[in-house]
Structure 1
Amino acid sequence: MRLPDTAHTSRPWRIHEITPDFRLYDVWALPTPGGPGDFARLVQNTAEGDTMNNPSRLARALFALRWKLGALLRWDQSDTGVGTRVPTLRERLPEDLRSLPPGPEFDRLPFNSVYLLEHEWAAEMANRTVQAVMHLAWVPDGHGGHRGQMAVLVKPNGLIGKAYMAAIGPLRHLIVYPPLMRGIEESWRRSTPPPLQGPKT
């Protein structure tokens, strides 16, 4: 379920300290019900994820088209990513976060972990069109349990980035995210909780 921006902005997440120049594009309640210690399970599932596991054939086709288009237009070349076109957000971290392990490596998604806390995780990616942050958090669900919450923050790269984000907006909300939520729910049901990692906030 898509949430209002205040579901993210009203909480004292550490991500606010390092992304003042990013725009918040989406906030989603994730179908991942659990207890207070289940955040590590969500982090693990996400790091092991793959866009081509999306349960929607149309969404998978759109992802495949995006990767082919990116290859054709050289959007995803090594010189357009984090550490080349843009510096990693880890350089912006305050000392207490920079001294911690950043979090897990991704198996297939084009993200790098920035920091991991007990109830908060940020990962970044960049290409020729945007620099983006996926922020996952673990929040009370209002019914005595907890669930995941995902925010997407984006810094477009000039006019090409703004045009790209405008073009994919309807596709994200109508085609990509609904089956993505179903895939997250299915993965959550199949997974088993790993040991909790990361310091307390």
Structure 2
Amino acid sequence: MSRLDESAHTALAWRIHELTPDFTVEDVWSFRTPGAGPDDFPVMLAAMVAAGGLDNQSRPAGFLMALRWKLGALLGWDKPADGLGARVQSLRDRLPSDLRAAPRGEDDERIPLKPVYELDREVVREIANKTVHGVMHLGWVQGDEGDYELRMAVLVKPNGVFGRCYMAAIAPFRYLIVYPAMTRRWEQAWLDRELLLA
């Protein structure tokens, strides 16, 4: 895994750009998938799901996620009135007709990120609460060494000063614990794909 410059996401012709001109690119990461070809994106996604997806975290990352949801419940950050379709409009409401007809992907109640659309090389999920409206973009890109790789971009629209302070406060935890743990799981899912998908 490596953290990339914002341009590694913005310079590519992703459909998400049409929907998020009012969002900021917070993070861009690449995940190693040695030997991957242009048509292996569905295989990577299936391997990630089989390995537990976003729900399967290391103990430290799992603890942080559980702590975040407990704090959210205690402080009222995650009330439906602050979520998608209430405080903010879902990106699904911005979709042009061709993307409305595209598959959305499965909605998993264990994962707070809701599906927006799923294409042959691009998947988008979103979340909204009292802190931010956030978007996770997964894309399939040819890397510098020829193999294809998974890239994740996180786009955010903070909810005022509170949202900006929240994003600043959680940054060290994302960079030191959550993203490294996610990387280990997702890169291992690719290496174990034949076993996971047998």
Q: Confirm or deny a common fold (TM above 0.5).
A: yes
Q: Aligned pair 1:132/2:134, yes or no?
A: yes
Q: Aligned pair 1:39/2:41, yes or no?
A: yes
Equivalent pair of 1:75/1:129 in contact (CA under 8 Å): yes
Equivalent pair of 1:32/1:185 in contact (CA under 8 Å): yes
Equivalent pair of 1:134/1:152 in contact (CA under 8 Å): yes
- In the TM superposition, residue 105 of structure 1 has moved relative to its aligned partner by 2.1
Moved more, 76-85 or 126-135: 76-85
- In the TM superposition, residue 107 of structure 1 has moved relative to its aligned partner by 5.1
Match of 1:147 in 2: 149
Query: 1:92 and 1:73, CA in 2 relative to 1: closer, same or farther beyond 3 A?
Result: same
CA deviations on 1:30-85 (whole Å, 9 max, x unpaired) are: 1233121111123334555234x223x32222111111101101111222211122
Query: 1:45 and 1:69, CA in 2 relative to 1: closer, same or farther beyond 3 A?
Result: farther
Inter-partner Cα distance in structure 1 for 2:48 and 2:79: 24
Inter-partner Cα distance in structure 2 for 1:2 and 1:96: 32
Match of 1:98 in 2: 100
Q: Aligned pair 1:54/2:51, yes or no?
A: no
Give the RMSD, CA atoms, in angstroms: 1.8
Partner secondary structure for residue 157 of structure 2: strand
Query: 1:79 and 1:44, CA in 2 relative to 1: closer, same or farther beyond 3 A?
Result: farther
Moved more, 112-121 or 93-102: 93-102
Query: 1:101 and 1:115, CA in 2 relative to 1: closer, same or farther beyond 3 A?
Result: same
Work out the number of aligned pairs and report it.
192
Inter-partner Cα distance in structure 2 for 1:50 and 1:119: 19
Match of 1:82 in 2: 84
Equivalent pair of 1:43/1:121 in contact (CA under 8 Å): no
Inter-partner Cα distance in structure 2 for 1:107 and 1:69: 19
Partner secondary structure for residue 67 of structure 1: helix
Alignment of 1:1-201 (within 5 A): 1-33=2-34, 34-46=36-48, 49-51=53-55, 53-55=56-58, 57-106=59-108, 108-192=110-194
CA deviations on 1:162-193 (whole Å, 9 max, x unpaired) are: 11001111111112111211111222223349
Moved more, 60-69 or 13-22: 60-69
- In the TM superposition, residue 90 of structure 1 has moved relative to its aligned partner by 1.1
- Amino acid of the residue matched to residue 57 of structure 2? N
TM-score (norm 2): 0.89
Equivalent pair of 1:81/1:127 in contact (CA under 8 Å): yes
CA deviations on 1:108-138 (whole Å, 9 max, x unpaired) are: 2111111111111111111111110000000
Inter-partner Cα distance in structure 1 for 2:15 and 2:127: 18
Partner secondary structure for residue 90 of structure 1: helix
TM-score (norm 1): 0.88
Which residues of structure 2 form unaligned runs of 5+?
A: none
- Amino acid of the residue matched to residue 7 of structure 1? A
- In the TM superposition, residue 101 of structure 1 has moved relative to its aligned partner by 2.3
Inter-partner Cα distance in structure 1 for 2:37 and 2:118: 18
Percent identity, please. Answer: 51
